[in-house]
A = this chain, B = another copy of it.
Amino acid sequence: METRQRRPTGRPRGFDADEALERALLVFWERGYEGASLANLTDAMGISTTSMYATFGNKEELFRKALERYTEGPSAYLARALDEPTALGVVTAIFAGTVRTTTRPAGPNGCLGVQGALATGDSSRGARDLLVAWRDSGYSRIRERFERAVDDGDLPPETDPALLARYVTALAYGIAVQAAGGVGRDELQDMADLALRDWPPR
């Protein structure tokens, strides 16, 4: 079978689509879906609206792809955290990753998955629902990881994995909201350490 990608004929694209998507991600991250206008986005991407539509479809599609990039980039700490051998290690890594990602010195504060489209008008409902599903996916993966930890004896058998996952995600979202408001990295990390001092809550 031929896995080599066939060279498309015709004039090649004059910009790097990956880099343009990264720029768009940063705009969405900082301003949210509704607050990011096409002009904001294309200015940052350095391309025309025509090129944006030809390459990414429309604004909602662009947001969807930016969110994918966010998941595999800034938010990749979650997947790595879930591979930690113990539940405590998982949660420690989740909190550390959340704090670091939501308070990057050069970059938007907060979490795209939270502030991207938490409450919107009708025209942005697609983006809002996308983020609801995104957050729910994160919650479910954490819950499943805790279920495994209970099975492994790593967490007490009376633990409710679903409730514990709600607790962890709530703290992560709370970190993100405070980071969006300008609360500093060290303070948030200290707070996460405080929460971790009693683990698991029972």
Contacts and interface: CB of A to CB of B under 8 A. Distances in A.
Interface residues of A, number: 52
Q: Give how many copies assemble into the complex.
A: 2
Contacts of A197: 201-202
A195 B183 CA distance: 22
A193 to B, nearest CB: 9
Contacts of A114: 118, 177
A52 interface: no
A113 to B, nearest CB: 10
A194 B120 contact: no
A167 interface: yes
Given A34-B120, A163-B191, A172-B174, 12 more contacts: A31-B121, A35-B119, A108-B119, A110-B119, A118-B177, A119-B180, A160-B190, A163-B190, A166-B178, A166-B191, A167-B195, A171-B174
8 contacts: A30-B119, A32-B121, A34-B35, A132-B182, A135-B181, A166-B188, A169-B174, A171-B171
The 6 closest A-B pairs by CB, nearest first: A170-B174, A35-B121, A32-B119, A115-B119, A174-B174, A173-B177
